[in-house]
Structure 1
Amino acid sequence: MDQIIHCNACIMDTSDQFRISFVYGSNEERSRRALWESLCSNQQGSPWIVQGNFNVCQRVDESIGGCSRITVAMEDFAECLQASELDDLQFSGFLHTWCNKRSNGCISTKLDRVLVNNGWLVKFEHSEASFLPSSISDHCPSVVKLGLLGNKKNCPFKFFILLTDREDFIPFVESVWQKQVHGTMQFKLYSKLRNLKKALKTLNNDNVGDVATKSIEVKATLDSCQLLLDIQPLYTNLRMREKELINEYTLSLQAEEDLLRKKSRIQWLKAGDRNSSYFFKAINGRRSRSKIHSITGDDGSLFEGDIPVKNEAIRHFHNILGCSILVRHGIGTLSNIIDNVISNDQADSMDRDVTNDEI
């Protein structure tokens, strides 16, 4: 196969292994089908990354100029990605990675990609790709950072929307919010939000956080019950207990699937098919695409890594929302803002006593 090279790689410091494939797709649509077959036949669960020039874009919105409709070649490529369970790694830099650089009839499109499977996202969850300027080439080079040196951060506060379906959710929030707090209005708001955050964390952990663990525990109890029934099949109480455990286990599986569905935001998939592995893949993909790996400052400087990104974000919003000098505005400032003002005589008349005639 002259369009792809498969390699096995190992990170010396951590001994982590992964598979990497380098692609240079043919210019001919028919020849590229052999490449798609090679990718599908090499589909695997271990970490796998595929990068290079595929010589076809995936969607119409990835191209400027040239063809403006979905072609058979694009459909073949999309089917290949679905069958091989590959998806774009989160990337920064240039969207259109190839350009013919013509003054007239200019075409820019995304021919180069960095694709990964779910095994890669699990192993290298902080990895990202960067597409750099093309310089004298017509293609943008791609660089992949594994993100192995990132410090583990505390998880942000989250609670799942399925909790709002509970009948006691609103009364629960109201009871926490109505607790007495003393201080300024700003401090009261801060304290109420902090108290609500703690309460929702507890509610989340009690009802959602251990959904998978509860399913495993119920399944183990059900297995034990059925082992006893195999020895004593006529034991009525044990048979009734089995029925209760089956119902409990079914409900726990439904809760687990519902949780995964809401996490992944996949709404179109048919419910009840135990799509757990698919949901986990969708969740990992969302997490990878949602992470901010780098930002560009006001002066064009690039900030990469958790700490530099955090500090630059704080500086940016402090400059917008903050104020280094406290400015106190007096009556003179208000006079410049308000056009319609009353005269001194009118002001004096408003301060006098009301007469009987006016009453």
Structure 2
Amino acid sequence: MNRTGPWMMCGDFNEILRPDEKKGGRQRSTASCRNFNDMISCCNMKDLRFKGNQFSWVGRRQQETIESCLDRVFINSDWQAMYPASETEFLPLAGSDHTPVIIGIAEVYCPKRGQFHYDKRFSTSDEFIASVKKGWSLGNRDNQGGIQNKIHHCRREIAAWKRRTKTNSAERINSLKYRLDAAERCPHTPLSTIHRLRNDLNQAYRLEEQYWKLKSRNTWLQLGDRNTKYFHASTKTRKARNRIKSIIDDQGMEHFRDDAIGKVAEDYYGRLYTTSQHTDLGDIIAGIDCKGNLMKESIRLSFV
């Protein structure tokens, strides 16, 4: 194998590396896994770090439940060096014999602080209304009659109510997925229980779709078309427009890390707006277009 650089292999390989990667059914021998092991060794690949249940396929053969690690993600050492924070997540079973797999690709861990968002789906809830009234009564008007303090207390009470009641439909979806996963894997689970869990999961998906419709600001499309993916993509697109992926400095070097991008931008603007005896305001204005954006020859940015 002469391929170089970082690369990844992922999907349903329909084979296992070791006999213990199969549960139930006829026992596999170590020799039967040799060809797959030789291929992975020849390509210098290894499993990407993962979380969740790696037994990604579940089926029944002659009334016996069988589980196997058929779906996986392999990477080489160059990939691991370039994206050390990457990982695979095996989701619960949800109506298929294969579990969904999500691959997260990241250079560094960047935890972000959550922001408060008002969710009008719960505006008719009695507990929600009581939380708003409580927050409004705790706040005080300022000397000019302003209500900022009252709004601040309302926001705190709403956030506390959401933490207590677990209103996030995504959390309910995850909970139902795990329950359905356990029911699918247990050979003694009645079909009526599995059907009930699937109906509950469909209802949770409808609420999640409504949430993303509100978040995406697209009010023209009617609910019921299962377009959660569209709403989610619309929301992500707005954020992606303003996200800087890379920046090129004066020496022509491209930087990708957030701290390096910030340093290059800081140095550039520091030089641009530093005044001196020979600085002319017209020279500065000439580097800015009519929209207030830097000209391409002044600084090049690469967006997602």
Under TM normalisation by the shorter chain, which class is it?
A: 0.3 to 0.5
TM-score by length of 1: 0.33
Greater Rg, structure 1 or structure 2? 1
